[in-house]
Amino acid sequence: MDGRKISAIFKKQLKDTMKNKTVLIQFIMFPLLVVIMDHSIKMEHMEEHFFVPLFATMYMGMAPLTSMASILAEEKEKNTLRVLFLSNVKPMEYLIGIGSYILLACMLGTGVFAVTGEYKGRELLEFLFIMLAGILISTLIGAAIGAWSKNEMSATSISVPVMMIFSFLPMIAMFNNTVKNISRLLWSGQINRFLNQLGTAGMDMETVCVLLANGAIVLFLFGMAYKKSGLA
């Protein structure tokens, strides 16, 4: 593993995203939306910062997943990935370069949620930790979709429904018990549950087990996709 190459990929992606509105909007949309909603919508009996855990879950389930899948699929479609690999870049160096860029961009967005939610001390640490875990799983799902897809269009057709399930199921779970039970089996559902009780109780075994199980399944799916195509 060569840090120089990882850094080169990271810097390339930073420049490229600035000109790629489709990916850029993924990183900005929910943090911006939460600031607007949190400041403009105040209703009776509504919890303070009601939108923060809700939008944080959506952000975590959506931004890393779609951006990773879209970046990877575009690079495959336009042959830039093949050129990188033929220039001595290892698939893992590429994935770490792009993945760390997405992680950083999403953690910046997470910072906006943390400030809006006015989290402090233990709450803040728990929030950042659980968001980091969720972003990692979401990025890995995106990588699996990107590796599986031949081009950007097929990546979008897979990532949109997957992203909808992970992002919206925890929200729908607020209104429907059956969906709530299903949502508890998903990492995004558990993270949303955890975000809603930040600071009051630590992470219970159920959350830990679901996150680990989901992480393992995602890792396995990524391994399968990687084995099938080898990325390029």
Partner 1 sequence: MNNGIHMKNIVKEFGGHRILNGIEIKIEKGEIFGLLGPSGAGKTTLIKILTGQLTQTEGEAELLGTDTRRLTDREYSRIGMMLDNTGLYERLNCYDNLLLFARIYGLSGDKPQEALKMVGLWEAKGQTVQKLSKGMKQRLVLARAMINGPDILFLDEPTSGLDPANARGIHRLIQKQREKGTTVFLTTHNMEEAEKLCDNIALLCEGSIVEYGNPGEICRRYNHQNKICLSLKNGKQILLENDSNGAWQVYNCLKEGLVEAIHSTEPNLETVFMELTGRSFE
What residues line the site for partner 1 (CB under 8 A)? 4-5, 7-9, 11-12, 15-16, 19-20, 78-80, 82-84, 86-89
To partner 1, the closest distance from the beta carbon of 72 in angstroms equals: 14
Q: Shortest approach of partner 1 to residue 92 CB, angstroms?
A: 14
Q: How far is the CB of 130 from partner 1 (least distance, A)?
A: 34
By C-beta, is 153 or 174 nearer to partner 1?
153
Q: How many residues does the chain have?
A: 232
Nearer to partner 1, 7 or 181 (CB): 7
Cα–Cα nearest to 218, from 160, 136, 152: 136
Token code pair at residue 218: 């995602």
Query: Which residue from 58, 53, 66 is spatially nearest to 20, judged by alpha carbons?
Result: 66
Amino acid code (one letter) for 129: F
Under 8 Å between Cβ of 211 and 192: no
* Cβ–Cβ under 8 Å, residues 116 and 38: yes
Residue 117 beta carbon to partner 1: minimum distance, rounded to whole angstroms: 34
Nearer to partner 1, 50 or 85 (CB): 85
